[in-house]
Structure 1
Amino acid sequence: MTRIAVGGFLHETNTFAPTKATYDDFVHGGGWPAMAIGADVLKTMRHINVGLAGFVEAAEANGWELVPTISCGASPSAHVTKDAFERIVKVMLDGIRAAGPLDAVYLDLHGAMVTEHFDDGEGEILARVRQVIGKDLPLVVSLDLHANVTPAMVEHADALIAYRTYPHVDMADTGRASAKHLALLLGSKQKFAKAFRQLPFLIAISWQCTNDQPTKGIYQKLAGLESDAVPTLSFAPGFPAADFPDCGPSVFAYGKTQADADAAADAIANIIVGHEDDFDGRIYSPDDGVRHAMELAKTANKPIVIADTQDNPGAGGDSDTTGMLRALVRNSAVNAAIGVIYDPASAKAAHQAGIGATVALSLGGKSGIPGDAPYQENFIVEKLSDGKFVAPGPYFGGRDMDMGPSAALRIGDIRVVVSSHKAQLADQSMYRYVGIEPTEKSILVNKSSVHFRADFEPIAAQLLICAAPGAMPADTATLPWTRLRPGIRIKPNGPEFSPENSRSPSPSIG
């Protein structure tokens, strides 16, 4: 029987963010499933939208025996601590060493991990795995669409295969695609040629959405370029908040010959570069966005949904800034809701006060973002929750969620979801678990950039993007870059980065 060692270790690192990812963050998981080790991995990784879960399903259909090591992820944040990285990688490597004879290794990684001691977290993981398994055993890896792919990652893996949707509704599908490619490797007993291209400009995450052009069309053309000669081709727009030389978009192809791989990689890279002008769009200030939403809501029969993109916990924000809440209150918005504000102390105070009580809070604003501060006001406690629920929408895909003690608060005609753990608001259930029905609201403000669209576009009259204070600026040119590779443009058609001209401005907060 074919024996495959498997594991997962996912983190998207915003090196400008306020909070690092500790070992305990990976134990809990945030929006990811809680850490599982050994046989528990195969119990956790089933029937959910995660790369490893899709691989497990395909592997079992192929009759492969799986040797699970560890699976874990944590909410995007600043650097992964050295302690967390070394403890998790040790479990993974020890599991591979103890597995006995293996035919291959599959890993579900993010591709944009920066640790306290390594710029290229995944490159280091793959180098260490390769040291254990040798140069001949197939090593296949699924990656996030936001991966900042490095030469080391390409060197050590036999195939890197990235998601093709943002919102990421195809994470499990990417695991299945990885299993399909691994079957090719095992069947032919030959490796494919590799081609890797790093692209010349950063792309802000708001314009990476695959529901919209140009990205939607690019992925359609990419799929059309795959063939027997080029079994897999990926475009990773990158995660543009990691200050190291390999940050940015990339293309990677695997072909029967080097010429096949090079031709496919060059074709899709040229298409992407040709769309540089299109990777930009309208972003509102908090007040302008709220006022525009209020005007649209007068004639809409569905909610107007606003992305609080700069405080997206899916991009390293702490999900606790108050700029959009202040704008809702300042403009007297009606029938509005905002979530999720991460503030364990305020959630605890609401639970202690009880439903119906009026409680004075210093809400949110605790992550030290320039231009932000706690919002000191009186709130009415409308609903309490232990924070446990299932998120059935297309992004989370049925994951068990644990937001910790949570509450629905009201100020004026505005409802606020407050939690004790953070995960981006990418599922309608993240309002419902505290008694707020999102389809009945006139305005919804989601602390997310794009993932929310998978579950909210069907119920939305219109989507807007606002830039309130937060750790993930919507304009990549405003970040204080110091270590990018020379010559890359820090936004589409923007200035080129050079070490001599690196600067340290405060991130734009809108």
Structure 2
Amino acid sequence: MARIGILGFLHETNTFAPGPTVLERFIEADAWPGLVEGQALLAATQDMNLAVSGFIAAMQPDGHELVPLLWCSANPSGPVSDTAFEHIVARLETLLRLSGPLDALFLDLHGSMVTETLDDAEGVLLQRLRTITGPHLPYVAALDFHAIITQAMVDQTQAMVAYHSYPHVDMAATGARAAQMLRRILAGEVFHAAWHKLDFLVSMPWQSTLGDEPAGQIMAQGRALEAPDRPEVQFIPGFPNSDTPASGPAVLAYAISPELAQAGADALLAQVRRHQSAFCGHLHTPQAALQAAAAHPAARYILADTQDNPGGGGAGDTTGIAQALLAHGISNAAVALLCDADFAQAAHQAGVGAILNMTLGGRSSPGGPPLPGPYEVLALGSGQLTGTGPFYLGCRMDLGPMTRVRVQGTDLEILVSSRKQQAADQAMFHHLGADPRDYRILVLKSSVHFRADFGALADHILVVQSPGANTADLHALPYTRLRPGVNIL
């Protein structure tokens, strides 16, 4: 039986978001566990839709000795501080040295981490770990759907597998795929990689794999190219709000021969090129979205506040769509989740039924102004809840004190958290005594993940362009570091 080290270090870096992302963001819990070490890692991640959880669950029946080292993540945000990166990497290096001889290493990574001085933080991490384990220890990594593949990442691993879906309902399943690749490597098989970097960027809302979206069709075509001798043929769309020379999608294949891997990568590349022009969609202004909703009063709408999506680096506190709802007098609507720790604390001090005469949100830039009060406190919650939807399934969240309030004199309700998190699970509503089915209009601070648990509730879903750091129109971003020839779709 093998001794397999397990580690995770995840961050999706929006280089245009105000930063830096400091160490405290990795230490604290949010939707996912805070920084955890050793055997506590197993309990902290058990039964969650996370790659590390799926890998552990898949490998435990094999009887291997699993050696958990460290796992941490931080909500998408600005560049990781060099201090935070060095602190966590140094701790990983120490734990790896103390772990004793290993037969393999599993790494749960995002794949698009950028620090204040490093464009390819994962590539550097892998190189640093290799100085301890040597060049031949099998490394198998699980990656996010939005990973930015680099040559260093390919060179320093024996295999990398990325999520197939967006919304990421298959994170645990991806960990199980990584386990299967590692089983074969431990049995003596050698996999050869072939990959292509593509020369365009796709905005997050148009990367969805649901329905007839181009990404979904490409994913299916990748699966059709797979076979026992070529177990992975992947399209990895990348994170477009990252301004680095490596930014952009990739095609990555693994097979038992270089020729088989190259044939799979080439075939999927041709399919991506065939679908490339379909990666587009329409961004609605708040006014246009609300006019559409007003014109169909019997229809249910979800307005995706994509540019304030905490899952893409947004602050989670912008007020543009809420301001528009109030201006249009739209009834039976809810906004979730708006992050304002001071407001949530004040609500808890005041209690249910109290009237709060204070402003809410709008502290980040771009994103203001704050919403004026007063507000009626309808419900309070600890922020400790368990995800029940396909994306956050099993995740034991800690969002800090939460409250649900109504803007006095209206029927606009706002769900407030103390830590930013995208509204992608109905459990967030239930935690505050609300049912999302009871609202005609839901404003959800999310780009795509909300579709997994909320999509079926709506007759119409409109992606709305309102101020926020997660810019959806990539043409508006001041890229300066993309490699020559990269196009913005």
One fold, TM greater than 0.5?
Answer: yes
Please tell me whether the aligned partners of residues 29 and 398 of structure 2 are also in contact (alpha carbons under 8 angstroms). Answer: no
Structure 1 match to 2:374: 378
Match in the other structure for 1:476: 474
The one-letter code matched in structure 1 to 2:100 is G
Instruction: Specify the alignment match of 1:408 in structure 2.
Output: 404
Gaps of 5+ in 2: none
Matched, 1:209 2:208: yes
Q: Which residue of 1 aligns with 2:298?
A: 299
Amino acid in the other structure paired with 1:396: Y
Within the candidate set 364, 367, 373, 1:367 is matched to: 364
Q: CA deviation at 1:386?
A: 1.7
Task: Output aligned runs, 1:84-483, within 5 Å.
Answer: 84-188=84-188, 190-212=189-211, 213-296=213-296, 298-300=297-299, 303-369=300-366, 372-411=368-407, 412-483=410-481
- Superposed CA deviations along residues 104-127 of structure 1, whole A, max 9, x for unmatched, are 101000001001221111111111
Identity fraction in percent:
43
Judge which range, 249-258 or 16-25, deviates more: 16-25
Per the TM alignment, residue 293 of structure 1 is displaced from its structure 2 partner at its CA by 2.3
TM-score, normalized by length of structure 2? 0.97
Residues 130-175 of structure 1 show CA distances to partners (whole Å, capped at 9, x for unaligned) of 2211111110000000001111111111111100000000000000
Q: Residue 393 of structure 1: SS of its match in structure 2? A: coil
Q: What amino acid does structure 2 have at the position aligned with 1:399?
A: C
How big is the shift at 1:372? 2.9
What displacement does 1:351 show?
A: 2.1
Could you say which residue in structure 1 is the equivalent of 2:17?
A: 17
Whole-angstrom CA distance in 2 between matches of 1:105 and 1:402: 29
One-letter amino acid matched to 2:453: D
Contact preservation (8 Å) 1:161, 1:174: yes
Deviation at 1:461, TM superposition (A): 2.1
Aligned to 1:42: 42
One-letter amino acid of the structure 2 residue matched with residue 382 of structure 1: L
Kept in 1: contact 2:361–2:368 (CA 8 A) = no
CA RMSD of aligned residues (A): 1.3
In 1, Cα distance between equivalents of 2:176 and 2:129: 21
Cα deviation code 1:74-101 (max 9, x no counterpart): 1100011122211212222222222212
In the aligned structure 1, how far is the partner of 2:93 from the partner of 2:293? 51
Q: Distance in 2 between matches of 1:29 and 1:316?
A: 17
In 1: Cα distance, 2:51 partner to 2:473 partner: 30
* Cα-to-partner distance string for 1:215-240 (whole Å, 9 max, x where unaligned): 11111110010112211122110100
Kept in 1: contact 2:20–2:116 (CA 8 A): no
Alpha-carbon separation, structure 2, partners of 1:210 and 1:195: 23
Query: Is contact 1:355–1:384 with CA below 8 Å preserved after alignment?
Result: yes
CA distance in 1, matches of 2:127, 2:290: 48
Q: 1:105·1:138 contact (CA, 8 Å) conserved in 2? A: yes
Residues of 2 paired with 1:453 and 1:267: CA distance? 30
Distance 1:157 1:339 in 2: 40
Asked whether the equivalents of residues 145 and 238 of structure 1 are also in contact (C-alpha less than 8 Å), the reply is: yes
- Residue by residue over 1:161-207, the C-alpha shift from the partner in whole angstroms, topping out at 9 and shown as x without a partner, is 1000000000000000000001111112x422111211111000101
The code of the aligned residue for 1:480 comes to: P
Cα distance in 1 for partners of 2:129, 2:182 equals 17
CA distance in 1, matches of 2:190, 2:466: 48
1:459 Cα shift?
2.1
1:29 Cα deviation after fit? 3.0
3-state SS in 2 of match to 1:361: coil
Q: Which residue type is aligned with residue 32 of structure 1?
A: W
- AA paired with 2:363? K
Deviations 1:34-56 (A, max 9, x none): 22101101111211100000000
